[in-house]
Amino acid sequence: MRTRIAILVLASAASAGCGYTPHDLADRGVESVNQPVVTATDYVFNAAAPGGTLAPGEAERLSAWFQALDIGYGDTIHVDGGDSYVAREQVQAVAGTYGMMVAAGAPVTSGPVQPGFVRVVVSRRRAVVPNCPNWSRPSEPDYNNRSMSNFGCATNTDLAAMVANPEDLVHGQEGNGIGDTATGAKAVQFYRSSPPSGTKGLQDVSTKGSQ
């Protein structure tokens, strides 16, 4: 009799262990734990600018540097230095050929800007989903009702690849307080003015090749 009681106690303990559900697991909800992470990298270019004006040949070197970095939307260009108003306008002219603008201010970089130089900084943001794909845990058995380890990898990796400016994943674009009603109503007007797709009847489609 004692042996049977001991067996029942052990069986109850084993079933309780299998049914234990921690409530602090991040992957027990509907939100994926595989989220995009935005990384930040600053690239520095020191250009000679005696008297606050780019030296001959520096604009060409700067343009080649921009081309090597393949700058584009999502990158931010800054100019750091002392009295560099003219040099800033020259950098803006070079950046404009790539469809870019020079932003106000400049991030903190290593080392001071030497006299007679200006520092051009390209701040680049990239969005990636680390550890994806993630098949580290089998889908079954799952006694804690957790989502799959790979859950969200495909969707969020696509989002990270498609977002034009990864900075928007950190904080969205700030509104300027100006609304264009014509732009907002353009889609509605197009929907209302377009004839229904079935007004011209069904197309006569044949699987036979032309003779």
**Bridge-based pairing state of the strands 75-80 and 37-48:** unpaired
User: Which pLDDT tens digit goes with each residue over 63-90?
Assistant: 999 999 999 888 899 998 876 788 889 9
Rank 42-51, 106-115, 134-143 by mean pLDDT and report only the highest: 42-51
Indicate yes or no: pTM above 0.85: no
pLDDT of residue 21: 55
Token pair for 63? 């343009």
Q: How far apart are CA 117 and CA 58, in angstroms?
A: 11
pLDDT of residue 130: 93
Cis status of the peptide bond prior to 141, with omega within 30 of 0: yes
Q: How far apart are CA 84 and CA 151, in angstroms?
A: 50
Please count the CA atoms within 13 angstroms of the CA of 179 that sit on its side-chain side. 3
The CA radius of gyration of the chain, in Å to the nearest whole number, is: 30
User: Which pLDDT tens digit goes with each residue over 193-206?
Assistant: 888 877 777 777 77
Point out which residues pair with 123 in neighbouring strands. Answer: 42, 76
pLDDT of residue 16: 47
Mean pLDDT of 40-57: 90
Q: Which amino acid appears at position 158 of this protein? A: D
Whether residue 120 is predicted with pLDDT greater than 60 in this model: the reply is yes
Token pair for 143? 């006694």
Q: How far apart are CA 163 and CA 94, in angstroms?
A: 26
Residue pair 79/46 in contact (Cβ under 8 Å)? The answer is no
How far, in Å, are 85, 105, 112, 199 from residue 43 at the CA level? 21, 15, 15, 57
Q: How far apart are CA 211 and CA 205, in angstroms?
A: 15
pLDDT of residue 211: 55
User: Which pLDDT tens digit goes with each residue over 6-45?
Assistant: 444 444 444 444 555 566 777 777 788 899 999 889 999 9
Residue pair 103/165 in contact (Cβ under 8 Å)? The answer is no
